[in-house]
Structure 1
C-alpha cells in the first residue's frame, strides 16, 4: 500500500494525472490503476473524477494527511536502517528563499566533511513554496523566515537576523552616505524581488511605514539579475547585510545600512515536525544549530 500512497501524494501535489505520471516515471494508466486500487482497498473515493483532475474528495483530504504520515514514517525507517549499516549516505534536498542562498554553504560544506557519502540539491523558491515542499516530503529541510508569517507544523532552528542595506553604484544618489533612511530609499529607482517573495513583502512594509510609495522599476526572482542591474549605475536595490557580505561588494558598488528604523527579521532552518526525524534531518538540524552558534559569536 505504501507505494500507492506515494503515488497519491504526488497526484495531490501536481493536481494533474499527466504531470504526476511524468513525475513518478510511470504511464498515466498505471497511475490511474494504482489510485483505483488504493480506493478499493480503503473503500472510499479519493479523487473527484471527470474529464480532468477535479480535486480530492473530503475522504481524500483525510487520507492525504495519513499518507504524509505513513510515507514519512516508512522513509524514516528505511533511512535509519541504512544509516545503521553504513553511516549517513544519500541525497539531501534543500529549498531556500533567495536572500538565504548565501548561507547554504555554511551548512552543506561542514556537513559533507563529516558525511562524505552525502550529495545535495538546492533550489531557490518562495517562503510559501518552502513550506509546501516540506509538507509534501519534496525536501529534507528549508531555509526561510521564521517569525513573519505562519509556519505550520515545523521544527525551526534560528540562524541569523536579516538586516537591510541599500545596494547602489558608486557615484549615484546617496552612494557617499554612511547610512540612509527608508524614506530616502523609497525615492530611488529600485529593482526588487517579485511580490510573491516574503523579502519583498517585508521591504514593502518598511517602505510604506516610512511614507514611501513602493513602485519598483524592475522586479525579478533572481538576485543575480538584480545585482547586474545595480552595476549598470542606473538602479539600486535593497538586500540583506549577510548577502551583501558574501557577494563581496566593492567599487563600483556600495552597500549602505538602512536606518530609521533599523529593522531585522529572523531567518532559520525548518524541517517537518515529526518524531523521530530521519537520521539525515536530525544531523542537518544539529549542523544548523552549530552554524547558529558560530554566527551568533561572529
Structure 2
C-alpha cells in the first residue's frame, strides 16, 4: 500500500495556504519553520508533485497544490466530524458549540433562552455569530458553524431545518394612522399600504411581503435593523410589520406607536434551527432547538414538526 499523507501534513498545507508564508504558517500551528517546511517537502514526495512555489515574497500553491488543498480541507473536516460524533455519543451538548443567529432574532430571543440553556447544559460553551441567513448557511456548509437559528421558510441547498416556534407579525404604525384604531387586521387591509421594511438581504423583508402580498414597500426608506425601523415609524414616515418576539422584548415600549394583531390565522414566520446536511452535530442541533423551545415562556405558540431538508435553490 502506498504511503499516505498524515493529518498533520495536511494541516500544515492548509495553514500555508491561509497565511502565505512558511514563518506565519509555522507560528499559526505552533511549530518551527524548519519543521513545517520539512513536512511540506515530505508531503510533496509522498504525492509525487510540487505543491508549493517558494519565493522571497512568500509561498503560493501550484495548481496541483490547489487541488490537494481542497481535498485536504475535506479530509480535515471529516476528521473533526469524527471526533465530534464520538464526543457527542458519549455526552451530547458539551464543549464548544458554534451557533449562528440572524439579527432579527438574536437581541430578542437570546437574552431569554441563554440563561436557561446554560442551566440545562452547564458543560456547553456557546460561541455566537450574528449575521444574515445566506452568510450563516455558507458558514454551516463550510463547517464554521455547528447550527443556526433562522426564520423559516428559507430554501438553501445542503441545509436541513426544524421549526421550533411560531412568531406572528404585528402591524405597527403612528397613532394617527388610518388603521390605528382598527382593532384586529386582515392581511388584505395592507394590500395598498406602503410599508417600511428592512433592506434587501434580510429574510424578514421577504416574509413580511409574503404576508400582505404587496410589492409596495418604500425602498427609499429601507432600514438596516428593527431598531432603526421603529424609529422611522415613530417619526411618521410610515407603518411596518414587526415580529411579536421583538415587541414582547420591549422594542416599541415608550414609543407611542399603535401595535395591532391580525385576525386568525395569524400571519408570521417560523423560528427554526438549521444545520449542514450530514453534519455530525445534526442530532445536537435538534436537541439545542428543543432546549431553546423548552426555555421559552409558557403560553408561547410552539411549532412541532419533523426535521426536513429545504429545497435546492438558494
When the two structures are superposed, what TM-score results if normalisation uses the length of structure 2? Answer: 0.66
Change (3 A) 1:136 1:186: farther
Change (3 A) 1:224 1:187: same
Change (3 A) 1:147 1:81: closer
- CA distances 1:43-100 after superposition (whole Å, capped 9, x unpaired): 578899xx9xx9996995786366335324325516855996x996543322112222
**More helix per residue: 1 or 2?**
1
Describe the SS at the equivalent of 2:219.
coil
Residue of structure 2 in register with 1:239 after alignment? 242
Partners of 2:195 and 2:216 within 8 A in 1: no
Residue of structure 2 in register with 1:223 after alignment? 226
* Partner Cα distance (2:173, 2:231) in 1: 11
What do you get for the CA RMSD once the two structures are aligned? 4.7
Q: Which moved more, 1:91-100 or 1:174-183?
A: 174-183
Q: Does residue 286 of structure 1 match 2:290?
A: no
Change (3 A) 1:46 1:272: farther
When the two structures are superposed, what TM-score results if normalisation uses the length of structure 1? Answer: 0.69
Work out which of the residue numbers 256, 266, 271 in structure 1 matches 2:270: 266
Bigger radius of gyration: 2
How far residue 128 of structure 1 moved from its aligned partner, in angstroms, is 1.0
Q: Does residue 94 of structure 1 match 2:103?
A: no
* Partner Cα distance (2:235, 2:138) in 1: 36
* Partner Cα distance (1:35, 1:127) in 2: 39
* Partner Cα distance (1:282, 1:265) in 2: 23
Q: Does residue 174 of structure 1 match 2:179?
A: yes
Q: Does residue 138 of structure 1 match 2:144?
A: yes
- CA distances 1:108-161 after superposition (whole Å, capped 9, x unpaired): 3222113334443323222111111111222221012343322x3334221123
* Partner Cα distance (1:235, 1:38) in 2: 66
* Partner Cα distance (1:125, 1:6) in 2: 28
- CA distances 1:197-232 after superposition (whole Å, capped 9, x unpaired): 22223334455x34x423233223322222333333
Unaligned stretches of 5+ residues in structure 1: none
* Partner Cα distance (1:33, 1:200) in 2: 51
How far residue 256 of structure 1 moved from its aligned partner, in angstroms, is 2.0
* Partner Cα distance (2:39, 2:221) in 1: 45
Unaligned stretches of 5+ residues in structure 2: 1-5, 305-314
* Partner Cα distance (2:12, 2:177) in 1: 55
Residues matched between the structures, number: 282
Residue of structure 2 in register with 1:201 after alignment? 206
